[in-house]
C-alpha cells in the first residue's frame, strides 16, 4: 500500500463528508491508499457519517476512542498506518480533487523522506478543482536546508507527507494534551530528514472557521490555550539550545527561524490576554519569564510576513508592556462590544 491518510475527527459532522469526498476523488486505486478515521470521542453525528462512508469504501477504517486530543489521536493513527507514506489532515479541511497521485509520484521517484506542498487559506467550501501548474525542476535538499529555504512555512502537519519508515526510525511523536501539538514535531521531523522537496502547487485547503478551537471564548479554554502558548515558547527555547549544541549545518539560520516562530506565538498570545480575564500581575510574570530567555520584547518579527500596519501598531504596543497594561482593560471592553477585531 502506497499511502495512509490519518483523519482525526471530533464533532465534525459539518465538515467530515466534504473532507472524505476530497480524499476519495483522487486518481488512485482504492487499493493504493487507506483512510484511517479516528473518532476522538465525538458526541455529534460525525461517527454516523464515517460509518456511512466505511460501508461503501473498503479502504476506509474507523477507530473510536474517548477524547484524547489531536496529538494523541495522530499518534494512534501513526501506529495504525500501513502505507509506505503517511499524511495527516484535519477533518474540517480538504484537498483538491485528483492531486494525490502527483504527490506520490514525486515521493516515489525521488525517494523522499518528506514532501511539502502549498496550501490555500479560504472560507470557501467548494474549491475542489485543481488547475494544472507547471512544475520546473526542483532539487532534493536536506531537511536543514528546507528549514532555511522555506522558513515561512506553517508549523501544522497538513502541508507535507512523510515516508512512514523514516518517521518510525525517528521515533518522533506529536505532543499530547496541548494545542499547537504539531509545532515542535514539524521542526524536529525536518531536522532529521535527509531528502526533502517542496512542490509549489496548491493542493490543501485550510478552512477558516469562526468556530475553530482557537476562536473559542470560553475562559477555561483561553486559560488552557495561554498555558500551552507559554509551554510552546519554552519548548522552542529548548529546541534552540538543542540545535546550538549539535552544531548542525545552517544552525544559525535555523535558530533564527525557530525564534521567529516563537516570537509570532508570543505576538498572537497577546490577543488571548485581551480575550481572557487573566490579571496584569500574571501577564507581567509571563513576560518577565520570556525576557529571561530573550524571547521578549518581540524582535525580528516585523518583515516579509508580518508587515501590515495593524500588526506594526499592535506589536509596538505589545513591546511596551506598561503601555499594554494601561490599554488592556479598554481593549477588553472594545472586544466585548465587538468594536475591535482581534486575530
Q: Where are the domains of the chain?
A: 3-207, 216-336
Overall average pLDDT of the 61-82 stretch: 97
Cell of 288: 518577565
The rounded percent of the chain whose pLDDT value lies above 70 is: 98
| Selected residue with higher pLDDT from 232 and 137 | 232
Q: What is the pLDDT at residue 94?
A: 98
Provide mean pLDDT across the span 315-326: 97
CATH for the 3-207 domain, from 3.20.20.80, 1.20.810.10, 3.40.50.2300, 3.90.550.10: 3.90.550.10
- Helix or strand holding residue 39 (H, E): strand 33-40
The pLDDT of residue 289 is above 90: yes
In the block, cell 488571548 appears at 272
Give the mean model confidence (pLDDT) for residues 277-301.
95
pLDDT in tens, 197-228: 999 999 999 998 766 666 788 999 999 999 99
Mean pLDDT in residue range 271-292: 97
pLDDT band at 257 (very low <50, low <70, confident <90, very high): very high
The percentage of the chain sitting over the pLDDT mark of 90, rounded to a whole number, equals: 87
Helix axes 251-275, 219-246, angle to 10 degrees: 170
Contact 128, 212 (CB under 8 A): no
- pLDDT tens across 107-123, in order? 999 999 999 999 999 99
For residues 22-37, average pLDDT: 97
Q: In the sheet where 60-65 sits, what is the strand order?
A: 60-65, 33-40, 3-9, 85-88, 160-163, 114-122, 196-207, 94-95
**How many angstroms separate the CA atoms of 187 and 184, rounded?**
5
Q: What is the pLDDT of residue 132?
A: 77
| Residue-wise pLDDT tens digits, 131-143 | 877 788 899 999 9
Choose among 222, 231, 165, 223: nearest CA to 192. 165
Per the prediction, the chain carries an average pLDDT of 94
Check pLDDT > 80 for residue 263: yes
**Average pLDDT in the 231-235 region?**
97
Q: What is the residue-wise DSSP string for 113-124?
A: SEEEEEEEEES-
Amino acid at each position: 500500500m502506497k499511502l495512509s491518510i490519518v483523519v482525526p475527527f471530533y464533532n465534525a459532522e459539518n465538515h467530515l463528508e466534504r473532507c472524505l469526498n476530497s480524499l476519495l476523488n483522487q486518481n488512485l486505486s482504492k487499493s493504493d491508499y487507506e483512510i484511517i478515521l479516528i473518532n476522538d470521542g465525538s458526541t455529534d453525528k460525525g461517527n454516523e457519517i464515517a460509518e456511512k462512508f466505511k460501508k461503501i469504501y473498503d479502504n476506509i477504517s474507523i477507530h473510536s476512542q474517548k477524547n484524547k486530543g489531536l496529538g494523541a489521536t495522530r499518534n494512534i493513527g501513526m501506529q495504525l498506518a500501513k502505507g509506505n507514506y503517511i499524511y495527516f489532515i484535519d477533518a474540517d479541511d480538504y484537498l483538491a480533487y485528483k492531486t494525490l497521485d502527483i504527490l506520490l509520484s514525486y515521493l516515489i521517484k525521488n525517494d523522499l523522506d518528506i514532501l511539502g506542498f502549498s496550501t490555500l487559506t479560504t472560507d470557501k467550501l467548494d474549491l475542489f478543482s485543481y488547475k494544472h501548474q507547471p512544475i520546473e525542476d526542483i532539487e532534493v535538499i536536506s531537511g536543514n536546508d528546507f528549514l532555511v529555504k522555506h522558513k515561512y512555512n506553517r508549523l501544522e502537519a497538513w502541508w507535507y507527507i512523510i515516508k512512514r519508515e523514516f518517521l518510525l526510525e525517528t521515533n518522533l511523536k506529536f505532543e499530547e494534551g496541548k494545542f499547537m501539538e504539531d509545532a515542535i514535531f514539524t521542526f524536529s521531523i525536518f531536522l532529521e530528514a535527509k531528502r526533502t522537496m517542496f512542490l509549489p502547487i496548491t493542493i490543501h485547503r485550510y478552512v477558516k472557521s469562526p468556530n475553530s478551537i482557537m476562536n473559542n471564548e470560553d475562559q477555561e479554554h483561553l486559560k488552557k490555550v495561554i498555558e500551552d502558548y507559554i509551554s510552546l515558547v519554552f519548548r522552542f527555547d529548548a529546541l534552540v539550545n538543542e540545535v546550538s549544541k549539535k552544531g548542525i549545518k545552517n544552525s544559525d539560520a535555523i535558530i533564527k527561524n525557530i525564534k521567529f516562530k516563537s516570537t509570532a506565538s508570543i505576538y498572537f498570545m497577546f490577543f488571548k490576554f485581551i480575550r481572557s480575564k487573566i490579571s496584569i500581575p500574571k501577564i507581567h510574570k509571563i513576560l518577565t519569564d520570556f525576557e529571561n530567555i530573550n524571547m521578549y520584547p518581540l524582535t525580528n518579527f516585523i518583515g516579509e510576513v508580518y508587515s501590515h500596519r495593524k500588526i506594526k501598531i499592535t506589536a509596538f504596543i505589545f513591546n511596551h508592556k506598561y503601555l499594554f497594561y494601561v490599554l488592556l482593560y479598554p481593549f477588553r471592553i472594545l472586544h466585548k462590544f465587538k468594536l475591535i477585531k482581534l486575530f
